[in-house]
Structure 1
Amino acid sequence: MSVLPDLLAEIFREPTLAGVARELAVLAAPLWLAALVGLLIGWAWRPRWAAPHQPPPQAPALLPPQQPAPAADKLTVLPRPKEVAASMAPVEDTELAVSTADLKHLRRVVEEKDGGPAWIHMMDRSLPTFRYQAWRRDMENGPPQYRSSTIFEDASPDVVRDFFWDDEFRMKNTWDDMLLQYDTLEECTETGTMVVRWVRKFPFFCSDREYIIGRRIWASGKTYYCVTKSVPRPSVPRSSKPRRVDLYYSSWCIRPVESRNGGMTACEVLLFHHEDMGIPWSIAKLGVQQGMWGCVKRIEPGLRAYQIARAAGEPMSKYAAMAHANTKFVADELTASEGNSEASSSSNNTVAEKPKHWTGNLPKVIMIGGAVALACSFDQGLLTKALIFGTARRFAGPGRR
């Protein structure tokens, strides 16, 4: 236990200040390298649930019950020719990738009646043209969930709806610079339901990710419920790169709200998002928290460019046109049909918690492994190796002595 004090005492016996500084730097360098090795081991670490061949666990409160997959001959609902449309039966809701059950679930989340954990307030930022707030809640058996409220001044719900649905503009304008590729796999012009394939760019230490997403919009007056979620499509082959994300949920409630200057000229976007990207949830949570505001600030200039393009009469893309094929419903009637079976919550928000230091969430074995690798790789003498192993043992906590 006296190795470190003896080593420090030896260093401070150096006759000059420069000598002391040099010896301290030699002492500290292995510790920084040990931390770096530990981080690299942490990035490479994958739990069993994140293996490509095994789908991630489903959290009980994450999504509504999945609808049974439709028969193979009903997967793709093609546009109906006008001359035969009148003689064909309407598309069954349960045959679609996104159904009324998903709308009911989104409404329960919006009204905070889904029975999930309390939301923890994370962020409150504002600029002259918009305000942003964000919350997080940690699920027992699933990835963290995020809820945000963005209020755009001088924006209509119709244009904001089209903006978020328009994959063509999303990539052309680069306000979403993670999107590398998009394709339409299925579409139903009667209900506006689509199945799209996205490929999104991830940092250099991760492979890019592939998403198979079902999406659909419901309208109640000027309020729009936009559901996007991952859907199983075994007919789309998997590959190691990009890596398929099996659990993805990102849905909006877009509605008019009062502007700062009075009048209903502002638009609020309530976003609910979670996904299992195949990396440890604690690391993903850190990344989201650090990069959230930077991503949000890119959305508003993109929306203003979209408003200008629409005002100039630029033609709509087919993706924006599909946003107009939404399903109308009466909110009161849907609420009445749901009965009293929904879980209720009188207050589902809490004050912000003090964020824990991110190193506390990594497995202790990462730091130990990094220290062992460093100690065995560098010939720095017995005292340095003893110090590295001692540091690792200290991170491991009380144990055998």
Structure 2
Amino acid sequence: MAGTESTGRAVPPPPEAALHLGGADLWRPVARGGGWATAAALLLLLASHLSVLLLRRRRLPRPGAVSAARDSLAVAATATAASTSSAPGSATGIECLVTEDDLRELVGNLGVAAREPEGEGWQQVIAKGNDDVSYRVWCDKPMEGPPRYLSVTTYERCSTELLRDFYMDNEYRMEWDNTVIKHEQLQCDENSGTEIGRTIKKFPLLTPREYILAWRVWEGNDKSFHCLVKECEHPLAPKQRRFVRVQLLRSGWCIRKIPGRDACEITVLHHEDNGMNIEMAKLAFAKGIWNYICKMNSALRRYPQRRISSISIMTMQRLIKKFPEALETDVDANHQPQGNTGATVVPSHFARTSSRQQPVKKSSPATIASGLLLIGSIVCLSRGRSNLGAQLAMAFFLKKAFKQEKGSSSQRSRIRTDVTESRHLE
């Protein structure tokens, strides 16, 4: 026969013949005792695979919990819409969007971060200046989401009132800032001084971004000014498909005069998630921010000659509130040299959460399940005389094991990369 030699010894079929074997031939053992060992190895692999599936299922939320969470979110959204749509000046309206507690948090974090940013773990990005303006900015990269930025800009021959009006003049911004397409005021609260506005900004090669923001401005006894801006929703600004609604923006600043000089400075804490790729946004900021500051300075110098009355400034000057006396002590302490400070840092959205302070934890059950898969795969590999069916099953489970291990390794690699980038940000 073609399948035997003259000595009578069986000749193995060519490789392509294995594709035509029946089910019984595929799983037939080739040596005494080989079937039991292969079956035991396959059972071990199957048990480990089932354990992985059970672990994943246990992590998924129950359908009842999901529906309950969805219902609670719907109730909260309805309540928010009802609150924001109330008449200006009402106690249940927009006056609760930006509170004095938010101001207290801003004062504490601005003071500690701005005195010595490097000591607080911020990484310097840029330090440039000329005869009219100097600019320094630091970055903090959290574990997730976009980075936070802290900047200190000093303007020579400029008063605090002029700089305040320039920053808050949204109509004038549309003249010199070509990224701002449109701005409109939606609502204001006379009692608290809170305003809500809608701004559309364009981004190169991307869909325009839509900002629905609430803000308040406070004036100190020394002609210093504080402002806090945060994202919100409003019934007069429903979402539109042609814009990307920005879901996260927290920005706060303090404008104060520099003692003994004809100059003032503005210190800004800014955190924004506009949907851009994080690495692309960091690169665009580092390469383009100084040119933007120079353009802003040129617009500031032209601002005193502007003869048009701005609706934004008239509204802001009418709604501005006095700085709370209880916080004056904290502000004074923030301007003292390091070592004599008395400001209290309140945990807030602006507080740093550096990736170096959060250790990476790996799930113990996931480690055990991955180990079981690897052990079972090694058992199958050690049986060199296993038949084709066992080898195919082994290949499947081995692929699953290495896939899980590769996912964990890539996650650890991404975390290490983020830490390295935060230390060597350019």
User: What TM-score results when the alignment is normalised by the length of structure 2?
Assistant: 0.55
**1:238 Cα shift?**
1.2
Distance 2:250 2:151 in 1: 14
**Aligned partner of 1:155: which letter?**
C
Distance 2:94 2:196 in 1: 15
**Aligned partner of 1:267: which letter?**
C
> Which residue of structure 2 lines up, in the alignment, with residue 297 of structure 1?
294
Cα deviation digits, residues 235-263 of structure 1 (max 9, x gap): 632122211110012221111114xxxx3
Number of residue pairs matched by the alignment: 260
Cα deviation digits, residues 39-60 of structure 1 (max 9, x gap): xxxxxxxxxxxxxxxxxxxxxx
> Which residue of structure 2 lines up, in the alignment, with residue 238 of structure 1?
239
Q: Which runs of 5+ in 2 are unaligned?
A: 1-75, 331-341, 355-409, 411-426
Cα deviation digits, residues 325-372 of structure 1 (max 9, x gap): 211124544668x9967469xxx9x9xxxxxxxxxxxxxxxxxxxxxx
Distance 2:189 2:135 in 1: 34
Distance 2:79 2:132 in 1: 43
1:133 equivalenced with 2:136 (yes/no): yes
> Which residue of structure 2 lines up, in the alignment, with residue 214 of structure 1?
214
Q: Please give the residue correspondences for 1:64-103 in structure 2 after superposition, counting only pairs within 5 Å.
A: 72=82, 75-78=85-88, 95-103=95-103
> Which residue of structure 1 lines up, in the alignment, with residue 323 of structure 2?
329
Cα deviation digits, residues 111-156 of structure 1 (max 9, x gap): 1279996211111111111111111111123310111111111111
Which protein shows a greater Rg?
2
Cα deviation digits, residues 270-299 of structure 1 (max 9, x gap): 111121111221221111111111111111
Distance 1:73 1:128 in 2: 48
**1:76 Cα shift?**
5.0
**1:73 Cα shift?**
5.6
1:285 equivalenced with 2:282 (yes/no): yes
Distance 1:241 1:105 in 2: 35
> Which residue of structure 2 lines up, in the alignment, with residue 25 of structure 1?
none
1:306 equivalenced with 2:303 (yes/no): yes
Distance 1:102 1:73 in 2: 19
Distance 2:277 2:204 in 1: 15
**Aligned partner of 1:320: which letter?**
I
Higher helix share: 2
Q: Please give the residue correspondences for 1:2-401 in structure 2 after superposition, counting only pairs within 5 Å.
A: 72=82, 75-78=85-88, 95-112=95-112, 118-172=121-175, 174=176, 176-204=177-205, 206-221=206-221, 222-233=223-234, 236-258=237-259, 263-309=260-306, 314-324=307-317, 325-333=319-327, 342=346
User: What TM-score results when the alignment is normalised by the length of structure 1?
Assistant: 0.58
Distance 2:320 2:189 in 1: 10
Distance 1:171 1:106 in 2: 28
Bigger mean CA deviation after superposition, 270-279 or 315-324: 315-324
Residues 157 and 339 (structure 1), Cα distance of their counterparts in 2 relative to 1, 3 Å cut: closer
> Which residue of structure 2 lines up, in the alignment, with residue 24 of structure 1?
none
Residues 279 and 163 (structure 1), Cα distance of their counterparts in 2 relative to 1, 3 Å cut: same
